Amino acid sequence: MKRKMTDVTRAKNGRPVHHWRRDVVELAALFTAVAVADAVANLIGHGPDGPTLLLVSAVALIATAAFHTWWARRHGHAPPADDTGARPGTAGRTAADEVSPRSALWRLRTTVRDEPGSLAALCTALAGHRVDILSLQTHPLGDGTVDEFLLRAPGSLAAGELTRAVSLAGGTGTWIERADAHDLVDAPTRILGLATRTALDAAELPLALRQLLGRCTIRQLPAAPAGSAGDAGAVPAEGVLEDTVLRLRAPEGGVITVERPYLPFTPTEFARARALVELDSRLGPRIPRGQDVLTLPEGNAITVHRADTGDLEAAKEMHERCSARTLAMRYHGPVGDADRYLSHLLSPRFGRTLAVRTTSGRIVGLGHLLWDGDETEVALLVEDTWQRRGIGTELLGRLVAMAAEAGCESVYAVTQSSNTGMVAAMRGLGLPLDYQIEEGTLVITARLEAAPVATGLPARD
C-alpha cells in the first residue's frame, strides 16, 4: 500500500510522474507533427497558391496564440493540474480571514419590555451589525427584563453605534463596557469558582463580591452598640436592595455595603450576593493554613504565615517591644491607641495579614493587605531589633503578589516622608510608582503588572 502512490500524491511530493501511456502519446504526436510539416512544405513549394497558404497559416497561428493568451489570463485562478479538489488556499486560511481582521468584546446590558418578540428584535438588530452573541443572562423585573450580553463585534463598530442599534430595537437604560477573555467563562461556572474561593478563605469575600458584581465599592462597618444610630439591626437579616446600593448583614454582626452608582442592581444580583454572604456566615472564621520557613542573610530562620484574630495576643506583645518611633511611623497617630487597631487589622473581613515569627514563636513582623473600598492598601510593621534584615521587603513582595493575584490594579502605602525603609521597600518592587506628599505624609501608589512580584529571601523545607 505504501509503494502504490497516485500521480497527484507523487507530484505533490515533488517527484515528477512518468507513465508509459503518456510516452506513447507524446511519440505519436511527434510523428504526426513531422508528417503534417512535410505535407505543408511540399504543398507550399510545389503548389500554385503556396505563398497565399503560407500567409493564411501565419495569421491563423497568430490568432490562435492571441486567443490562448486571453483565455489563460481570464482563467488563471483555476486550480492547478495536481489540485486535489479542495478550494484554493483552504489550508492556509484561518477564521480571522473570513471576518473582520479585528474584533472587540463588549459587555452590554439593557432593559426590554417583558413581552414576546422583544428579545428577538434585539438579537435581529445585533445580527444586522454582524455582532455575535457569546452569552446571555436575563434578570426579570416587575415591568420588564434586564438582558445582559457578552458580545463579539467587528473592531470598526463603535460603542455608540452599538447602543444606538439596541435603542432602536426597543432597549432602554443601555449600559456598555469593554470585556476581556475572563468574561468568556459562563455565569454558573464563575459563581461556583467564587463560592469555592470564599469557602477556602474568609478574606476572599469582598473580592468575590467585587468580581461577581463588577466595578463597585465595598465597605464593611463593624457592629455598632445596640440602640445606636449605626446599629446593624437597621438592616434586616435578608438584607436591603436600594437601586444602586446593597446592604447585607455581615457574619460577625456588622454591615457590608456595596455601591455601584453607574448601574442599578437587579434582584438576581442581590440574591447571588446574599448567597455568598450566607455561605461565608455558615462556614465561620477560617484562613488557609500553611507556612514558609525562610533564611535571613545572616542565617537566622523565620516563618511567614497567614495571621488572624487568633494571633492578637502575640501581636500586642510585639507592640510592647517596639519603640514609640516605630509605632508612630506605622499608625500615624497616638502610640497609646496602637493596640486597638489590631483587632481590625487581623480580621480576615478587612483584608489579609502575614505574620513573621522567629524559631521561638515570637511575632517580629506584620504585613497587612487591606481592602479600602475599591482600593487596596499595604502596611508594614517590623520590630526594631529585626529591622534592616529584609523582613519588610519580604512581606511587601508577598502582599503585592497577593494583590496582583486578587486582580487589584494598584496598591498604595501611607507613611511619613522620613520613613526611608518603607520608601526603599516600595522602590524595590520594580513597579511604576506615583508619589503624593502633603504635610509630611507620603502616599506611594504602585501600579501592578500582570506578573506577581517574587519574594527575595530563600525558602527551605
Residues 6+ apart with CB under 8 A from 336: none
Flag whether pLDDT at 420 surpasses 70.
Answer: yes
Mean pLDDT of 331-346: 75
Could you give the dihedral angle defined by the CA atoms of residues 393, 397, 403 and 408, in that order, rounded to the nearest 10 degrees?
90
Flag whether pLDDT at 188 surpasses 90.
Answer: no
Mean pLDDT of 332-354: 78
Residue 53: how many other CB atoms lie within 10 Å: 14
Looking at residue 338, its pLDDT comes to 66
Mean pLDDT of 199-228: 76
Beta strands in 64-213 (DSSP E): 103-112, 132-140, 145-154, 172-178
Q: Are 283 and 219 in contact (CB under 8 A)?
A: no
Flag whether pLDDT at 354 surpasses 80.
Answer: yes
d(CA 67, CA 104): 50
Flag whether pLDDT at 211 surpasses 90.
Answer: no
d(CA 419, CA 106): 45
- Per-residue confidence band for 288, with pLDDT thresholds at 50, 70 and 90: confident
- Give one DSSP letter per residue of 66-90, joined into a string: HHHHHHHHHTTTSPPTT--SSPTTG
Looking at residue 7, its pLDDT comes to 39
Amino acid at 413: A
Question: Which tens digit of pLDDT belongs to each residue from 89-124?
Answer: 333 333 333 334 478 899 899 998 888 888 899 999
Of the ranges 98-107, 121-130, 365-374, which one carries the lowest mean pLDDT score? 98-107
d(CA 447, CA 117): 47
Residue 310: how many other CB atoms lie within 10 Å: 10
| Average pLDDT of the chain to the nearest whole number | 76
Amino acid at 146: V
d(CA 213, CA 259): 10
Say what angle helices 187-200 and 205-213 make with each other, to 10 degrees: 170
Could you give the dihedral angle defined by the CA atoms of residues 328, 223, 265 and 271, in that order, rounded to the nearest 10 degrees?
130
Q: Which residue has the cell 478574606?
A: 203
Strands 245-249 and 217-221 turn out to be unpaired
Q: How far is CA 188 from CA 136, 194, 272, 460, in A?
A: 12, 10, 11, 40
Mean pLDDT of 374-397: 89
Measured distance between the N- and C-terminal CA atoms of the chain, rounded to whole angstroms: 60
Looking at residue 205, its pLDDT comes to 84
Could you give the dihedral angle defined by the CA atoms of residues 24, 28, 31 and 32, in that order, rounded to the nearest 10 degrees?
-170
Report residue 338 CA to chain centroid gap.
39
Flag whether pLDDT at 74 surpasses 60.
Answer: no
Question: Which tens digit of pLDDT belongs to each residue from 215-243?
Answer: 888 887 766 555 555 444 578 888 889 88
Flag whether pLDDT at 12 surpasses 70.
Answer: no
Opening angle at CA 99, ends 87 and 93, nearest 5: 35
Mean pLDDT of 256-260: 89
> What domains can you pick out in the chain, each with its CATH number?
102-184 (3.30.70.260), 187-283 (no CATH), 291-460 (3.40.630.30)
Neighbouring-strand partners of residue 444: 413, 435
Looking at residue 428, its pLDDT comes to 87
> What is the tally of helices (H) and strands (E) in the chain?
14, 17
| Comparison of pLDDT for 181 and 409, the residue scoring more | 409
d(CA 363, CA 354): 10
Looking at residue 34, its pLDDT comes to 60
Say what angle helices 391-405 and 420-427 make with each other, to 10 degrees: 50
Q: Are 203 and 190 in contact (CB under 8 A)?
A: no
Q: Are 252 and 223 in contact (CB under 8 A)?
A: yes
Looking at residue 68, its pLDDT comes to 61
The shares of helix, strand and coil residues in the chain, as percent rounded to the nearest 5, are 45, 25, 35
| Comparison of pLDDT for 16 and 447, the residue scoring more | 447
Opening angle at CA 123, ends 261 and 136, nearest 5: 55
Looking at residue 366, its pLDDT comes to 93
pTM of the model: 0.57
